[in-house]
Amino acid sequence: MRKDGIFIAVEVDDAVASDPALAAKLAEVCPVDIFAAEGGALEIVEKNLDECVLCRLCLDAVPEGVRVLKLYEDGAAL
């Protein structure tokens, strides 16, 4: 799944999005609530995307299958 804000896009592979433990981990670590895990299913919260502080906590928590893209830098990956 992928959602785009104005400055930031987030992409999550299906294998991660459908794993309740990984979804919960992402929801827990992001300081600006870009991830939510309702009933075990991952949701990317579109309205919060541009609040991303580039902290990499999501990438550290789930090293494979999550990408934070800087749309203001031609989509360069964080």
Task: Give the footprint of ligand SF4 on this chain (CB under 6 A).
Answer: 10, 29-32, 34, 52-58, 68
In the complex, least distance from residue 55 CB atom to ligand SF4, rounded to whole angstroms: 4
Burial 34-66 (b: 16+ CB within 10 A, else e): bbbbeeeebbbbeebbeebeeeeebbeebeeeb
Choice between 29 and 36, CB closer to ligand SF4: 29
Choice between 42 and 58, CB closer to ligand SF4: 58
Which tokens in the block code for residue 42?
């991952």
In the complex, least distance from residue 51 CB atom to ligand SF4, rounded to whole angstroms: 7
According to DSSP, the residues that pair with 10 across neighbouring strands are: 3, 68
In the complex, least distance from residue 12 CB atom to ligand SF4, rounded to whole angstroms: 10
> Whose CA is closest to 58, among 14, 25, 36?
25
Choice between 20 and 31, CB closer to ligand SF4: 31
